[in-house]
Amino acid sequence: MSKVIFFEVQGGSDKGSDGYRGDTMPMVEALKQRGQDAEVIFFELENRDAIFNYVKEHASAYVSRINPGNLKHETAYFEMLRELCKEGVIGMPHPDAMISYGAKDALVKLRHTALVPEDTFAYYTIENFKSNFPKALATGERVLKQNRGSTGEGIWRVQVVDPLAKDANEVPLTAQIKCTEAKDNHVEYHTLEQFMTFCEQYIVGENGMLVDMTFLPRIKEGEIRLFMLRDKPINVVHKKPADDADAFSATLFSGAQYRYDKPEQWTTLVNSFLGQLDEIKELLGGHDLPLIWTADFILDTDETGADTYILGEMNCSCVGFTSELELAHDVAEDILACLHERMSIVS
Protein backbone atom coordinates (compact mmCIF):
# COMPACT_ATOMS: atom_id res chain seq x y z
CA MET A 1 0.00 0.00 0.00
CA SER A 2 1.29 3.46 -0.88
CA LYS A 3 2.10 5.73 2.03
CA VAL A 4 0.95 9.17 3.05
CA ILE A 5 4.05 11.22 3.82
CA PHE A 6 3.96 14.08 6.32
CA PHE A 7 6.70 16.65 5.73
CA GLU A 8 8.27 18.46 8.68
CA VAL A 9 11.58 20.23 9.36
CA GLN A 10 13.90 19.86 12.31
CA GLY A 11 13.70 22.47 15.05
CA GLY A 12 11.39 25.39 15.68
CA SER A 13 9.16 26.52 18.52
CA ASP A 14 6.26 24.41 17.21
CA LYS A 15 7.94 21.11 18.13
CA GLY A 16 7.30 18.91 21.15
CA SER A 17 9.85 17.00 23.21
CA ASP A 18 9.73 14.18 20.64
CA GLY A 19 10.84 16.54 17.88
CA TYR A 20 7.50 16.53 16.04
CA ARG A 21 4.71 19.07 15.87
CA GLY A 22 2.08 18.22 18.44
CA ASP A 23 -0.57 17.59 15.79
CA THR A 24 1.49 15.53 13.32
CA MET A 25 1.77 12.14 15.01
CA PRO A 26 -1.94 12.10 15.96
CA MET A 27 -2.73 12.35 12.23
CA VAL A 28 -0.23 9.60 11.40
CA GLU A 29 -1.70 7.33 14.06
CA ALA A 30 -5.27 8.11 13.00
CA LEU A 31 -4.42 7.01 9.45
CA LYS A 32 -2.73 3.82 10.67
CA GLN A 33 -5.79 3.00 12.78
CA ARG A 34 -7.75 3.10 9.52
CA GLY A 35 -5.32 0.79 7.71
CA GLN A 36 -3.46 3.53 5.81
CA ASP A 37 0.33 3.51 6.13
CA ALA A 38 1.89 6.89 6.93
CA GLU A 39 5.20 8.31 8.11
CA VAL A 40 7.00 11.60 8.77
CA ILE A 41 9.98 12.81 6.75
CA PHE A 42 12.02 15.83 7.78
CA PHE A 43 12.91 17.95 4.77
CA GLU A 44 16.63 18.74 4.49
CA LEU A 45 18.10 20.49 1.48
CA GLU A 46 21.17 18.24 1.42
CA ASN A 47 18.92 15.17 1.18
CA ARG A 48 16.48 16.69 -1.25
CA ASP A 49 17.04 14.21 -4.11
CA ALA A 50 16.89 11.15 -1.86
CA ILE A 51 13.68 12.44 -0.26
CA PHE A 52 12.14 13.14 -3.66
CA ASN A 53 12.96 9.68 -4.99
CA TYR A 54 11.68 7.93 -1.87
CA VAL A 55 8.36 9.80 -1.85
CA LYS A 56 7.93 9.38 -5.60
CA GLU A 57 8.40 5.62 -5.25
CA HIS A 58 6.51 4.93 -2.02
CA ALA A 59 3.84 7.62 -1.52
CA SER A 60 0.44 8.31 -3.00
CA ALA A 61 0.14 11.68 -1.21
CA TYR A 62 2.01 14.12 0.98
CA VAL A 63 0.77 16.43 3.71
CA SER A 64 2.93 19.52 4.32
CA ARG A 65 3.26 20.38 8.02
CA ILE A 66 6.08 22.93 7.87
CA ASN A 67 5.72 26.35 9.45
CA PRO A 68 7.14 28.82 6.88
CA GLY A 69 9.02 30.55 9.69
CA ASN A 70 11.06 27.36 10.21
CA LEU A 71 11.74 26.73 6.53
CA LYS A 72 15.14 28.04 5.45
CA HIS A 73 14.96 26.76 1.86
CA GLU A 74 11.38 27.53 0.87
CA THR A 75 12.01 27.79 -2.88
CA ALA A 76 13.77 24.42 -3.05
CA TYR A 77 11.06 22.79 -0.93
CA PHE A 78 8.25 24.13 -3.11
CA GLU A 79 10.09 23.07 -6.26
CA MET A 80 10.34 19.53 -4.90
CA LEU A 81 6.63 19.49 -4.07
CA ARG A 82 5.76 20.69 -7.58
CA GLU A 83 7.84 17.89 -9.08
CA LEU A 84 6.15 15.33 -6.84
CA CYS A 85 2.73 16.58 -7.93
CA LYS A 86 3.79 16.27 -11.59
CA GLU A 87 4.77 12.66 -10.87
CA GLY A 88 1.25 11.94 -9.64
CA VAL A 89 1.72 12.32 -5.88
CA ILE A 90 -1.34 14.08 -4.45
CA GLY A 91 -0.35 17.41 -2.91
CA MET A 92 -2.05 18.32 0.34
CA PRO A 93 -1.84 21.10 -0.51
CA HIS A 94 -0.21 21.78 -3.87
CA PRO A 95 2.59 24.32 -3.28
CA ASP A 96 0.92 26.88 -5.54
CA ALA A 97 -2.29 26.57 -3.53
CA MET A 98 -0.19 27.03 -0.39
CA ILE A 99 1.13 30.29 -1.82
CA SER A 100 -2.21 31.48 -3.21
CA TYR A 101 -4.20 30.92 -0.04
CA GLY A 102 -1.43 31.72 2.43
CA ALA A 103 -0.07 34.97 1.01
CA LYS A 104 -1.57 38.14 2.42
CA ASP A 105 -2.26 39.54 -1.06
CA ALA A 106 -4.94 36.88 -1.52
CA LEU A 107 -7.15 39.54 0.04
CA VAL A 108 -6.42 41.93 -2.82
CA LYS A 109 -7.34 39.25 -5.35
CA LEU A 110 -10.70 38.91 -3.57
CA ARG A 111 -11.48 42.59 -3.10
CA HIS A 112 -14.12 42.68 -5.83
CA THR A 113 -16.14 40.06 -3.94
CA ALA A 114 -18.41 40.60 -0.94
CA LEU A 115 -15.64 39.21 1.28
CA VAL A 116 -13.11 42.05 1.11
CA PRO A 117 -13.48 45.87 0.97
CA GLU A 118 -12.66 47.51 -2.35
CA ASP A 119 -10.10 49.83 -0.73
CA THR A 120 -7.69 46.98 0.05
CA PHE A 121 -4.24 47.40 -1.48
CA ALA A 122 -1.00 45.45 -1.89
CA TYR A 123 2.36 47.22 -2.03
CA TYR A 124 5.13 45.33 -3.81
CA THR A 125 7.45 48.32 -4.18
CA ILE A 126 8.54 51.02 -1.75
CA GLU A 127 7.61 53.67 -4.30
CA ASN A 128 4.01 52.48 -4.57
CA PHE A 129 3.72 52.24 -0.78
CA LYS A 130 4.98 55.77 -0.22
CA SER A 131 2.73 57.12 -2.95
CA ASN A 132 -0.54 55.47 -1.96
CA PHE A 133 -0.48 54.86 1.79
CA PRO A 134 -0.73 58.56 2.84
CA LYS A 135 -3.86 58.81 0.67
CA ALA A 136 -5.38 55.63 2.10
CA LEU A 137 -4.65 56.77 5.66
CA ALA A 138 -6.47 60.05 5.00
CA THR A 139 -9.70 58.06 4.67
CA GLY A 140 -9.44 56.66 8.22
CA GLU A 141 -7.60 54.13 10.37
CA ARG A 142 -5.72 51.44 8.47
CA VAL A 143 -4.13 48.06 9.14
CA LEU A 144 -0.82 47.19 7.48
CA LYS A 145 0.12 43.51 7.23
CA GLN A 146 3.48 42.14 6.25
CA ASN A 147 3.54 38.98 4.14
CA ARG A 148 6.00 37.20 6.43
CA GLY A 149 5.83 36.45 10.12
CA SER A 150 3.15 35.02 12.36
CA THR A 151 1.40 35.62 15.70
CA GLY A 152 0.72 39.24 14.78
CA GLU A 153 4.31 40.27 14.09
CA GLY A 154 4.47 43.07 11.53
CA ILE A 155 0.72 43.74 11.61
CA TRP A 156 0.11 47.38 12.54
CA ARG A 157 -2.98 49.42 13.30
CA VAL A 158 -2.23 52.96 12.14
CA GLN A 159 -4.11 56.07 13.35
CA VAL A 160 -3.50 59.77 12.71
CA VAL A 161 -3.17 61.52 16.09
CA ASP A 162 -4.49 64.99 15.19
CA PRO A 163 -7.51 65.67 12.95
CA LEU A 164 -6.74 66.43 9.32
CA ALA A 165 -7.99 69.47 7.47
CA LYS A 166 -11.51 68.88 6.12
CA ASP A 167 -10.40 68.93 2.49
CA ALA A 168 -7.23 66.83 3.04
CA ASN A 169 -6.93 63.84 0.76
CA GLU A 170 -3.45 62.87 1.92
CA VAL A 171 -1.76 62.67 5.34
CA PRO A 172 1.35 64.91 5.56
CA LEU A 173 4.63 63.07 6.09
CA THR A 174 5.21 65.16 9.22
CA ALA A 175 1.91 64.10 10.82
CA GLN A 176 2.11 62.22 14.13
CA ILE A 177 0.66 58.72 13.94
CA LYS A 178 -0.16 56.11 16.57
CA CYS A 179 0.98 52.59 15.66
CA THR A 180 -0.18 49.47 17.53
CA GLU A 181 1.39 46.09 16.69
CA ALA A 182 -0.82 43.01 16.85
CA LYS A 183 1.99 40.86 18.24
CA ASP A 184 1.54 42.25 21.75
CA ASN A 185 -0.64 45.37 21.30
CA HIS A 186 2.24 47.68 22.21
CA VAL A 187 1.93 51.31 21.02
CA GLU A 188 4.51 53.49 19.30
CA TYR A 189 4.31 57.08 18.06
CA HIS A 190 6.11 58.24 14.93
CA THR A 191 5.82 60.72 12.12
CA LEU A 192 4.26 59.13 9.06
CA GLU A 193 7.57 59.44 7.22
CA GLN A 194 9.48 57.65 10.00
CA PHE A 195 6.98 54.81 10.14
CA MET A 196 6.91 54.27 6.38
CA THR A 197 10.71 54.15 6.35
CA PHE A 198 10.55 51.50 9.09
CA CYS A 199 8.03 49.50 7.03
CA GLU A 200 10.34 49.31 4.01
CA GLN A 201 11.85 46.15 5.58
CA TYR A 202 8.57 44.33 4.96
CA ILE A 203 8.64 45.05 1.23
CA VAL A 204 12.24 44.24 0.31
CA GLY A 205 13.45 40.68 -0.19
CA GLU A 206 11.86 37.50 -1.52
CA ASN A 207 8.05 37.53 -1.28
CA GLY A 208 8.14 40.94 0.37
CA MET A 209 4.93 42.97 0.35
CA LEU A 210 2.53 44.93 2.53
CA VAL A 211 -1.24 44.64 2.48
CA ASP A 212 -3.21 47.75 3.46
CA MET A 213 -6.80 47.39 4.71
CA THR A 214 -9.28 49.61 6.48
CA PHE A 215 -9.38 49.04 10.25
CA LEU A 216 -12.59 47.37 11.42
CA PRO A 217 -13.40 48.51 14.99
CA ARG A 218 -15.70 45.56 15.60
CA ILE A 219 -12.58 43.41 15.91
CA LYS A 220 -13.07 44.15 19.62
CA GLU A 221 -16.07 41.80 19.46
CA GLY A 222 -13.78 39.04 18.30
CA GLU A 223 -12.33 37.42 15.19
CA ILE A 224 -14.16 34.37 13.86
CA ARG A 225 -11.94 31.63 12.42
CA LEU A 226 -13.44 28.92 10.24
CA PHE A 227 -11.34 25.76 10.48
CA MET A 228 -11.75 24.05 7.12
CA LEU A 229 -11.04 20.57 5.78
CA ARG A 230 -11.14 21.20 2.05
CA ASP A 231 -14.75 22.35 1.52
CA LYS A 232 -16.07 21.42 4.99
CA PRO A 233 -16.05 23.65 8.09
CA ILE A 234 -15.09 21.46 11.05
CA ASN A 235 -15.17 23.99 13.85
CA VAL A 236 -15.21 27.71 14.54
CA VAL A 237 -12.82 29.51 16.86
CA HIS A 238 -14.05 32.79 18.32
CA LYS A 239 -10.99 34.86 19.30
CA LYS A 240 -11.76 37.91 21.44
CA PRO A 241 -8.95 40.46 21.96
CA ALA A 242 -7.93 41.50 25.45
CA ASP A 243 -10.00 44.25 27.07
CA ASP A 244 -7.20 46.81 26.94
CA ALA A 245 -8.25 49.95 25.07
CA ASP A 246 -5.56 49.59 22.39
CA ALA A 247 -5.81 45.81 22.03
CA PHE A 248 -6.94 44.56 18.63
CA SER A 249 -4.86 41.39 18.29
CA ALA A 250 -6.67 38.05 18.31
CA THR A 251 -3.62 35.89 19.11
CA LEU A 252 -3.23 33.86 22.29
CA PHE A 253 0.17 35.47 22.81
CA SER A 254 -1.45 38.90 23.07
CA GLY A 255 -3.98 37.78 25.68
CA ALA A 256 -6.97 37.06 23.46
CA GLN A 257 -9.59 34.65 24.78
CA TYR A 258 -10.45 31.65 22.59
CA ARG A 259 -13.79 29.87 22.43
CA TYR A 260 -14.44 26.79 20.30
CA ASP A 261 -17.85 26.56 18.63
CA LYS A 262 -19.56 24.21 16.22
CA PRO A 263 -20.22 25.45 12.66
CA GLU A 264 -23.95 25.18 13.34
CA GLN A 265 -23.58 28.09 15.76
CA TRP A 266 -22.44 30.34 12.89
CA THR A 267 -24.87 29.30 10.17
CA THR A 268 -25.08 32.68 8.41
CA LEU A 269 -21.32 33.06 8.09
CA VAL A 270 -20.72 29.43 7.14
CA ASN A 271 -23.41 29.31 4.47
CA SER A 272 -22.30 32.63 2.99
CA PHE A 273 -18.66 31.51 2.82
CA LEU A 274 -19.42 28.09 1.36
CA GLY A 275 -21.56 29.77 -1.27
CA GLN A 276 -18.52 31.74 -2.43
CA LEU A 277 -15.96 28.90 -2.47
CA ASP A 278 -16.15 28.37 -6.23
CA GLU A 279 -15.45 32.05 -6.85
CA ILE A 280 -12.61 32.02 -4.31
CA LYS A 281 -11.02 28.99 -6.01
CA GLU A 282 -11.21 30.64 -9.42
CA LEU A 283 -9.75 33.95 -8.24
CA LEU A 284 -6.92 32.24 -6.36
CA GLY A 285 -5.69 30.16 -9.29
CA GLY A 286 -8.11 27.27 -9.67
CA HIS A 287 -6.16 24.85 -7.46
CA ASP A 288 -7.79 22.17 -5.35
CA LEU A 289 -8.72 23.50 -1.93
CA PRO A 290 -6.05 22.91 0.74
CA LEU A 291 -6.53 19.94 3.05
CA ILE A 292 -6.34 22.00 6.26
CA TRP A 293 -6.89 25.74 6.08
CA THR A 294 -8.58 28.60 7.88
CA ALA A 295 -10.48 31.76 7.01
CA ASP A 296 -10.58 34.57 9.59
CA PHE A 297 -13.49 37.02 9.65
CA ILE A 298 -14.23 40.30 11.42
CA LEU A 299 -17.72 41.68 11.96
CA ASP A 300 -18.67 44.89 10.17
CA THR A 301 -21.92 46.78 9.61
CA ASP A 302 -23.33 47.47 6.14
CA GLU A 303 -25.21 50.58 5.00
CA THR A 304 -28.51 49.16 6.25
CA GLY A 305 -27.13 48.51 9.74
CA ALA A 306 -27.01 44.74 9.28
CA ASP A 307 -24.07 42.58 10.33
CA THR A 308 -21.65 41.54 7.64
CA TYR A 309 -18.44 39.53 7.74
CA ILE A 310 -15.14 40.75 6.29
CA LEU A 311 -12.34 38.34 5.43
CA GLY A 312 -9.17 39.41 7.22
CA GLU A 313 -6.82 36.54 6.47
CA MET A 314 -6.49 32.97 5.28
CA ASN A 315 -3.88 30.41 6.34
CA CYS A 316 -3.01 27.05 4.86
CA SER A 317 0.77 26.49 5.09
CA CYS A 318 0.66 24.77 8.46
CA VAL A 319 -2.54 25.36 10.40
CA GLY A 320 -2.16 23.92 13.89
CA PHE A 321 -4.80 22.25 16.03
CA THR A 322 -2.81 21.06 19.05
CA SER A 323 -5.54 22.31 21.40
CA GLU A 324 -8.08 20.02 19.70
CA LEU A 325 -6.17 16.88 18.75
CA GLU A 326 -9.39 14.89 18.30
CA LEU A 327 -9.62 16.68 14.93
CA ALA A 328 -6.82 14.37 13.74
CA HIS A 329 -9.48 11.73 13.09
CA ASP A 330 -11.48 14.15 10.94
CA VAL A 331 -8.31 14.96 8.99
CA ALA A 332 -7.53 11.28 8.50
CA GLU A 333 -11.01 10.65 7.14
CA ASP A 334 -10.65 13.51 4.68
CA ILE A 335 -7.23 12.30 3.53
CA LEU A 336 -8.71 8.88 2.81
CA ALA A 337 -11.66 10.50 0.99
CA CYS A 338 -9.24 12.50 -1.16
CA LEU A 339 -7.24 9.34 -2.00
CA HIS A 340 -10.45 7.52 -2.92
CA GLU A 341 -11.60 10.39 -5.13
CA ARG A 342 -8.29 10.46 -6.96
CA MET A 343 -8.29 6.70 -7.51
CA SER A 344 -11.84 6.91 -8.86
CA ILE A 345 -10.77 9.57 -11.36
CA VAL A 346 -7.72 7.57 -12.49
CA SER A 347 -9.69 4.34 -12.91
**Per-residue pLDDT tens digits for 109-127:** 999 899 999 999 999 999 9
Q: What is the pLDDT of residues 13-42, one digit of tens each?
A: 888 899 999 999 999 999 999 999 999 999
CATH of the domain at 109: 3.30.470.20
Last residue of a domain, one of 160, 194, 215: 215
Task: Give the per-residue pLDDT at 169.
Answer: 94
Choose one of 192, 215, 238: the last residue of a domain: 215
Residues 47 and 89 in one domain: yes
Give the CATH number, domain containing residue 204: 3.90.70
Q: Do 222 and 313 belong to one domain?
A: yes
In whole angstroms, what is the distance from residue 312 CA to residue 314 CA? 7
Q: Do residue 141 and residue 205 come from a single domain? A: yes
Residues 159 and 243 in one domain: no
Query: Is the same domain home to 107 and 233?
Result: yes
**Burial call 31-62: b when 16+ CB within 10 Å, e when fewer:** beeeebebebbebeeeeeeebbeebeeebbbb
pLDDT digits 0-9 by tens, 303-347: 898 889 999 989 888 888 888 899 999 999 999 999 998 876 654
125 shares a domain with 210: yes
Q: Are 296 and 253 in the same domain?
A: yes
Domain span at residue 337 reads 3-93+326-346
Examine the domain organization and report whether 280 and 337 are in the same domain: no
Question: What's the CA gap between 52 and 63, in Å, rounded?
Answer: 14
117-153 pLDDT, tens digit per residue, is 999 999 999 999 999 999 999 999 999 999 876 677 8
Phi, psi of 164, deg, nearest 5: -85, 160
Q: Total domain count for the chain?
A: 3
Q: Are 127 and 186 within one domain?
A: yes
3-state DSSP percent of the chain in helix, strand and coil, to 5: 35, 25, 35
| 309 and 222 both lie in a single domain | yes
Q: Are residues 75 and 150 in the same domain?
A: no
Clarify whether residues 194 and 239 are in a common domain.
no
CATH number of the structural domain spanning residue 332: 3.40.50
What single string gives the DSSP state of each residue in 11-56?
Answer: -STTB-TTSSBTTHHHHHHHHHHTT--EEEEE--GGGHHHHHHHHH
